[in-house]
Structure 1
Amino acid sequence: MSEADAETAEPAGGRSGIWIEKYRPEGLDDVKGHENVVPRLKRYVEQDDLPHLMFAGPAGTGKTTAAQAIAREIYGDDWRENFLELNASDQRGIDVVRDRIKNFARSSFGGYDYRIIFLDEADALTSDAQSALRRTMEQFSNNTRFILSCNYSSQIIDPIQSRCAVFRFTQLSDDAVEAQIREIAAEEGIELTDDGVDALVYAADGDMRKAINGLQAAAVMGETVDEEAVFAITATARPEEVEEMVEQAIAGDFTAARATLETLLTDRGLAGGDVIDQLHRSAWEFDLPEQATVRLLERLGEVDYRITEGANERLQLEAMLASLALEDE
């Protein structure tokens, strides 16, 4: 089911349905964790003075939700007829800008001064498509507002950025994620332990979508969602396991460190990129000397670059552990 289809479907009772859609905030007041963004967006809506907008930030931080909430508040029950959502990563060519966007912008609509086009993952648009989009934004500025969503605003050409009010969506705080998953657990009648909450927050790393999906997946396994269920279902290693691997390498015990890495990759099902992300997130939280942490981060940067360029993940991670082990000799 596409995101649009899921949005139009009525949530079923009980635990059925996709929870990220079932519990998606409907109004701007319900959007959590963005106290610096929401009041400014509300003022635009209240003053009926919506400019073109650009939402930049990591996945799962509320960019799509904020765009839909704006449409709901402006159009009420008519929001779907006046809100066009396109995913630029799937439809990234110049023809999409020329055809679908222009056709929507030209079509008639009743009772409203403008319609909204939401272009998700706009940083995936080709440079030609972005140039065409700029001209389209100029051509239909009297009756159309664009909301662009992207992970990296630097990938959007300057002429488009200058036409938009830019909002930065940062990773959600642990408190905001915890409040949401506790609320959903209570609504769904799930017993959620404190260590289960901590595990969900850790696994999500500021991504509300990931936290809610993890909660729903873990809830399928049983009535109680605890730390063990969360780490198993989200393919996330416990922080202490990752720390143990690093400590073994720094202590010069490469064989033990390699065995721990093998457990993470094979038994836990982590990908090499997952291991790197967890190491990077937790490096300063490990009980390691500062110099050792600096060496670890230096090696992580090298390994991440090499894997990005196509190198073998396992080989690069083992080489990183070997390098840390040799440093101690």
Structure 2
Amino acid sequence: KAMLEEMGSTYMMINGSDESGIDVLRTKIKNFASTVSLEGGRKFLIIDEADYLNPQSTQPALRGVIEEFHQNCGFILTCNYKNRIIPALHSRCKPIEFIIPNKQKPQLAKEFYERLVGILKQENIGFEQKALAEVINKHFPDWRRIIQEVQAYSHSGSVDAGILVDLERKNIKELLPLLKRKELNNVRRWIVDNMDNDPDRLFRNIYDIMFDSCELNSIPNLVVLLGEYQYKSAFVADQEINMFAFLTEIMVQVKFK
């Protein structure tokens, strides 16, 4: 955005996780890409989190839109997981990866740790060094998320080992309304954000919190599904797919209070 604004280009930005359906492509994207810029020159469409666009419908259709309007409109796709972008789109885009070299990661984490310690001391908030280091290690290099999590927990007066348990339970509680409303895309996004947790611990936390959130006659289904997919997690090649299959079955078979 900053570069396009500096160039004085006309652009539009959409979020692929919020607007992932084919209707957005048929209306919003096509309407923008097909019209001429008032300033002259090419327009640009930024699709943030493009890896959340539906790979069966929206992504294949986007390929045709890029080919049809490429002279009038440039397309910039950002993503966290490039393997979720179909090959047809890969071949029509120039990939640019923003990667932190492995040799620089320890130094960056150390500098951020020192910065965070400085903030906590300035605010007179106590902290345990090990707990703070584990939070940074868990979410590195998502600095904004680290600050948000530490800030939220620090209201208790200090940052200690309890923050790790608190983070896990809070994340599960954020999942519950998504399952109730059957928000498939947001459930998938939740999985991506939480797959850095140990799968066994994740299943246990889901059990602890969901047990009291389900209708009584749905508890047997919940327990059976938990046991089945926790067992599978020891053998599957892709933990994310296994977790997505589990939560999809939860949405189908379990009724919530």
Band the TM-score falls in, shorter-chain normalisation: 0.5 to 0.7
Is the 1:115–1:145 contact (alpha carbons within 8 Å) kept by the matching residues of 2?
yes
Deviations 1:182-217 (A, max 9, x none): 436646844455334312223325443432222221
How many corresponding residue pairs? 185
Give the distance between the partners of 1:109 and 1:98, measured in 2 at CA: 22
**Number of the residue aligned with 1:179:** 111
What value does the CA root-mean-square deviation take over the aligned residues? 4.0
What percent identity do the matched residue pairs reach? Answer: 24
Give the distance between the partners of 2:71 and 2:119, measured in 1 at CA: 43
**Number of the residue aligned with 1:275:** 198
Q: For 2:94, give the aligned amino acid.
A: A
Q: Secondary structure at the match of 2:76?
A: strand
Q: 1:107-186 alignment to 2 at 5 Å?
A: 108-110=37-39, 113-169=42-98, 173-180=105-112, 182-183=114-115, 186=118
Is the 1:88–1:122 contact (alpha carbons within 8 Å) kept by the matching residues of 2?
yes
Cα distance, 1:136 vs structure 2? 1.6
Is the 1:94–1:126 contact (alpha carbons within 8 Å) kept by the matching residues of 2?
no
Q: 1:169-318 alignment to 2 at 5 Å?
A: 169=98, 173-180=105-112, 182-183=114-115, 186=118, 189-190=122-123, 191=125, 194-222=129-157, 224-225=158-159, 227-235=160-168, 274-276=197-199, 301-302=234-235, 304=239, 309-310=245-246
Cα distance, 1:162 vs structure 2? 0.9
- Name the larger-Rg structure: 1
**Number of the residue aligned with 2:5:** 75
* Structure 2 spans left out of the alignment, 5+ residues: 170-193, 203-230, 248-257
Is the 2:43–2:74 contact (alpha carbons within 8 Å) kept by the matching residues of 1?
yes
**Number of the residue aligned with 1:321:** none
Give the distance between the partners of 1:278 and 1:209, measured in 2 at CA: 25
* Higher RCO (CA 8 Å, separation ≥ 6 residues): 1
Please, what TM-score do these two structures have when normalized by structure 1? 0.44
Q: For 2:3, give the aligned amino acid.
A: E
* Structure 1 spans left out of the alignment, 5+ residues: 1-70, 237-270, 280-297, 312-329
**Number of the residue aligned with 1:104:** 32
Is the 1:214–1:233 contact (alpha carbons within 8 Å) kept by the matching residues of 2?
no
Give the distance between the partners of 2:143 and 2:2, measured in 1 at CA: 21
